Structure 1
Amino acid sequence: MRISPDRERILNKLQSEINYQFKDIELLNTSLTHSSYVNENKGKCDKSNERLEFLGDSVISLVVSEYLYKRFIEFPEGDLTKRRASVVCESSLAFAARKINLGDYLLLGKGEDATGGRDRDSILADAFEALTGAIFVDGGLKSAKDFLLGQFEREVIYALSKGNLFIDYKTELQEILQKRGISKIEYRVEKETGPDHNKKFYMNVLIEGKIIGSGMGRNKKEAEQMAAKQALLKIGETDG
């Protein structure tokens, strides 16, 4: 599939975001090509990201397994297996994909795009696996490991103690404030922008009418999580 100059500019933006430059940019493009796009563009595009997704799944499992093995030396095999499963599950990988706005770079069929495919957990998780697989093919295991741990190390380290890469910042904030004698927390939408298929929500979290955190997301739940995360940063309970 020939990559247009406009598409190459978009891919370059992603490469800057993930701090990795592909030797073969076609690998990157393939990792972001959903099967629905291939089905609608037969003759023009014949490679989806499914094979890279298959490979990336194994690479992620290996990197996380090694990390767990070295960091939690006291854990038996059963505990390591459970913790790995929670870190590499669909919701965790989709969360990781959203951190780099991976949905914005996907090539999707018109129908898939129109029905919210860019923010669907299954598609984002698969694309994250495919991107990891592409980095592995292009630069080897070290590059893939550097991407996974370098891009998300603080989240991974913190989340491993919790057993999931998706950190529930709202619950964390609620528990911390309750310990400080504060029980009422309010989340309030500040504004909404964008068309219906690509909305952005801006959310504030308040205590007694005072804003302690703000965040943006593609839906209200995500915006609430980001607002809670900023609140935690302000009160010094997470280093982001």
Structure 2
Amino acid sequence: MIGVHDVGGYHMGPIQTKDDVVFHEDWEGLTFALLLVSGVQGTWALDEFRHIIEQMPPAEYLETPYYIHWLESIEELCVRDGFVTRDELAARQQDIREGRALPAVTGEPDPEVVEKLREGTRGIAYVGLGARRPDQPQNFTVGDRVRAHVRAVPGHTRLPWFVWGKTGVIVAYSGTYPLADTVAHREGENPEPTYAVRFEGTDLWGPGAEPNTSVTMDLYESYMDVVTESAAA
């Protein structure tokens, strides 16, 4: 989807890093933990998480910090999956504004649930989700010259705008993975082969590109077509 989040390829100057602090406030660490805990439930995927962030109003997206984006998405996902309601969230927010304490938790947690969450969150944090699927037949090979589609889709896509319509060369097969475009909308995994594609700087930005610059990115097979000799001519 086209949005304010898709800023790759823009000339924005050097990236300015503030410091080496991971979490500047306690709520940021809690938000990170909430993502891991809710992800362990297995009812949603990161592509859906990303797409919800993409739908934030542009001004809000630009004016809010990174973990606010996460929190917006986590709330929406937990509402969708029935873990909490919007009314419950609003009521708790009002409690916080008025200084009311969180109700005391009664009873003991289920040890099996606690262990599941502990092992699951540790696995996601340190290993990842392991999304690779069994290899499928590949229609492209290393060395093929390909052209990325122009993909102005209303939904989620992992094809950044600055390579739309540009040509590159496949340098490696990267494995078969669930198609983010459908996973983001709960329309099935539809796994596809992916390839590492190198785009020369001059192909992306013209003769004014910095010399010897290239960008290599993994793209799904359905994101591109082979460029034939006649088409290249």
TM-score grouping bracket, smaller chain normalisation: under 0.3
Structure (1 or 2) with the greater helix fraction = 1
Give 1 or 2 for the bigger CA radius of gyration: 2
TM (norm. structure 1) is 0.24
| Larger relative contact order (CA 8 Å, sep ≥ 6) | 2
Structure (1 or 2) with the greater strand fraction = 2
